[in-house]
């Protein structure tokens, strides 16, 4: 099979999984372990054993570990300050899956895009639902969309946006 077709199939399946997770999180505020854990493992395995890899095996492992660890530490610090969670651990597992598939170098772009979209989406969410600032809203859809953008257009922020800002 043509490598271009194979990459397209793998990207399409990953996008479908991310869209499905975004849909679940939007409706239930949950990202199921039954999907996020296999995505982490599949990302590491794909990048370790496939000739079509998106990143190096080392970058996939470090990306998954650091992504989860960063959101875990952020949530732990917030919990110490406010006595409640600030971000769900499903979001940390989803970011770990994106780190496993796309590697360590993709994480800053994904976090930046998801954070900006999450702030804007959160404001709209709160306005439309007439919630208070303490109400939760799902962050997984924003991570998923940012991951899809990074998958289809790698390093978009670094190559197109940052040079125009500097």
Express each pLDDT in 127-166 by its tens digit: 777 766 667 789 999 999 999 999 999 877 767 666 666 6
Sign of the Cα torsion 9, 155, 95, 40 reads positive
Domain boundaries, the chain: 3-165
Predicted confidence at residue 107, as pLDDT, reads: 96
Question: Which whole number is the average pLDDT over 56-62?
Answer: 97
In the predicted structure, residue 66 carries a pLDDT above the cut 80? yes
Question: Which whole number is the average pLDDT over 103-115?
Answer: 95
Tell me how far apart the alpha carbons of residues 123 and 127 are, in angstroms, rounded to a whole number.
Answer: 6
Does this model's pTM top 0.85? My answer is yes
Q: What is the largest CA-CA distance in the chain?
A: 54
Q: 155: phi > 0 → left, psi -120 to 50 → alpha, else beta; which?
A: left
Predicted confidence at residue 90, as pLDDT, reads: 95
Enumerate helices (H) and strands (E) in the chain, giving the number of each.
8, 0
The tally of CA atoms less than 13 A away on the side-chain side of residue 146 is 25
């Amino acid at each position: 099979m043509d490598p271009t077709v194979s990459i397209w199939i793998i990207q399409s399946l990953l996008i479908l999984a991310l869209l499905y997770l975004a849909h679940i999180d939007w409706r239930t505020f949950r990202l199921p372990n039954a999907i996020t854990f296999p995505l982490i493992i599949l990302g590491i395995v794909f990048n370790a054993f496939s000739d079509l890899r998106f990143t190096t095996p080392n970058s996939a492992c470090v990306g998954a570990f650091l992504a989860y660890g960063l959101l875990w530490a952020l949530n732990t610090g917030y919990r110490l300050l406010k006595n409640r969670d600030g971000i769900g651990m499903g979001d940390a597992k989803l970011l770990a899956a994106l780190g496993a598939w796309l590697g360590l170098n993709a994480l800053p772009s994904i976090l930046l895009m998801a954070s900006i979209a999450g702030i804007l989406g959160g404001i709209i969410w709160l306005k439309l639902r007439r919630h208070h600032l303490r109400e939760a809203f799902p962050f997984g859809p924003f991570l998923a969309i940012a991951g899809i953008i990074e998958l289809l257009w790698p390093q978009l922020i670094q190559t197109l946006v940052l040079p125009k800002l500097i």
